[in-house]
Amino acid sequence: MDINWNEVPTRFHFFRPAIEACGETMVIPFDHKLQRHVPFWERATQRQLHELATLHAKLLENDNVADVHAWCKVVGLGTDGRHWAARRFRSLMSVLEQLGQADVSPFCDALPVWPDDESADEREETLPEELRYLIGPALHFGERYNCELQMVRFFEEASPEECDQLAQLAERIRRNQDWPRVWQWLRESDWKTSRYHSEIDQLFNLMDLCYFDFE
């Protein structure tokens, strides 16, 4: 889905060249020669790295990562266009972090810090009863793989049993036709007031990343 930049505050439009150059950075194809999944940062072209370096410099220059983070949290479950933009912003921030951790210059020289989300102390259990079977897997997978960088590691560290568990869960969701109800709950609630919201959201992001068909 293309971003409608009219829905994005002008002060964040400096993300646009990198987003248009890099495309979907969360897709992690399997390389049969290497026999492993290859994350975006390992296969980025020189043009893509140039745009990422420009984005990296502007984030440091503007010192507005906290502002970007706050906007992404607010619109994460808003309109489809803004939700998609927030998702792409987070993906690029994850790529910058991966490049920095891989000691690739200039990303390793100074890294824009993406703030940690604070957990709410008192949250209601608003998840419908028929969807509560998602809680266990969400706590197991969603807490461990709660950002794009950690999701990349799933392909390296997940056991065969965990992969099978995730595949069976996706099949159960698809068979029960539960995804529309989950999506409605995610849109109508938020992580601040609803317990398990973040974990379930990340669980479905992980299944989507693994190409499991749950719809």
3-state secondary structure 122-191: CCECCCCHHHHHHHHHHHHHHHHCCCHHHHHHHHHHCCHHHHHHHHHHHHHHHHHCCHHHHHHHHHHCCC
pLDDT at 53: 94
State the 10-residue block means of pLDDT for the chain, 215 residues long: 84 94 73 76 91 93 85 68 82 87 88 64 74 85 68 75 86 92 86 77 84 77
Domain ranges of the chain: 5-101, 129-209
Whole-angstrom CA distances from 96 to 37, 93, 157, 164 are: 19, 5, 22, 31
Can you give the pLDDT at residue 26? 63
Q: What does the chain come to in residues?
A: 215
Report d(CA 67, CA 99) in Å as an integer. Answer: 22
C-alpha closest to that of 39 among 138, 154, 182, 200: 154
Nearest alpha carbon to residue 8 among 78, 60, 85, 119: 85
The answer to whether 5 touches 16, Cβ cutoff 8 Å, is yes
Residue 13: predicted pLDDT = 95
